[in-house]
Amino acid sequence: MNAEVGIKGASRAVAGMAVLLLVAMAAGCGTATVVKPSGSSASRGAATPRTSVPKPGQTAVVRRGDTLYALARIHNITPGDLAAWNGLSNPNAIYPGQTLRLYPGGATATATRPAAGSGSATATRPSAPPPAATPAPANSGIGWRWPADGALVGRFVAGETTKQGIDIAGSSGQPVRAAGPGVVVYSGAGLVGYGELIIIKHNEQWLSAYGHNRKRLVNEGQNVKAGDQIAEMGRTGTSRDMLHFEIRYNGKPVDPLQYLPQK
């Protein structure tokens, strides 16, 4: 099961949430790639900065068609710094509704600028990128339930980009159900190697993702309750019938087994 991701939930109109959750989670397949729109308006009109100007306390919400490079230009931050400040090992790992921090962790001031006649400017940078996965709070406030019946064939490993969720084996056409109440913010097949994908936003901090479905039964903007069938299990983007399931807190993957009821 291969994966590349980075996720953070934020409130944004559902109509603007159509570019992808960057995840690559296909058993036995190669590195996944994202299909990105070619004409993003956010990608025009600014040169790539050479030195970052951090903006402590400020954030930018990813919109449809945005890229990390375009956002970096707009906010006068280098793409490398913007990725590092948000714990993105893959600079393409952004999705609509995600909130990106425009400053390094712990920063309290903007970049240091030289006085007239002094040496070159320096920017505040983090000593190291944040970890790939952020530990989740003990209580999500959501009554999670299992999204499908079947044997657990893949487990979450913190910080391991190829194991950012769990895999549940089953049979073709088997019901896939919403693990909690929320609104569908993505229903599509735009991620190579991930198959038919559904993403549900449960609140401002929590998302869940359901991959490799045979058929999607819900549309973007649709409200669902915990236990509602949202898809039929399949093997799109993988070699066997199974569901790949993730829970994300502020865009970061967490171990679903910490939240799902014990079997």
Query: What is the model's pLDDT at position 52?
Result: 86
DSSP 163-174: -SSEEEE--TT-
Residues 222-246 as b or e (16 or more Cβ within 10 Å = b) = bebebbeebbbbbbbbbeebbbbbb
Q: How far out from the chain centre does Cα 86 lie?
A: 11
Contact 208, 167 (CB under 8 A): no
Q: What is the DSSP letter of 184?
A: E
Superfamily classification of domain 134-258: Glucose Permease (Domain IIA) (2.70.70.10)
Using the structure block, give the residue that is written with the tokens 């229903």: 187
pLDDT in tens, the chain (263 residues): 444 443 444 334 333 443 434 433 333 333 344 444 444 444 444 566 778 888 888 888 887 778 888 888 888 899 888 888 887 766 666 777 788 889 887 544 333 333 444 443 344 444 444 444 445 465 889 999 999 999 999 999 887 776 889 999 999 999 999 999 999 999 998 876 679 999 999 998 999 999 999 999 999 999 999 999 999 999 998 999 999 999 999 888 899 999 999 88
pTM: predicted TM-score of the whole model, two decimal places:
0.56
Q: Can you give the residue ranges of every domain in the chain?
A: 134-258
Query: What is the model's pLDDT at position 164?
Result: 86
Longest dimension (CA), the chain: 71
Query: What is the model's pLDDT at position 95?
Result: 74
- Cα dihedral sign, 31-214-38-84: negative
> How crowded is residue 151: how many other Cβ atoms within 10 Å of its Cβ?
9
Gap between the Cα atoms of 132 and 130, Å rounded: 7
Tell me the helix, strand and coil percentages in the chain, rounded to 5: 10, 25, 65
Distance (Å) of CA 221 to CA 12, 165, 201, 218: 11, 24, 10, 9
- Which two three-digit tokens encode residue 243? 């569901």
Query: What is the model's pLDDT at position 135?
Result: 53
Using the structure block, give the residue that is written with the tokens 């994908």: 197
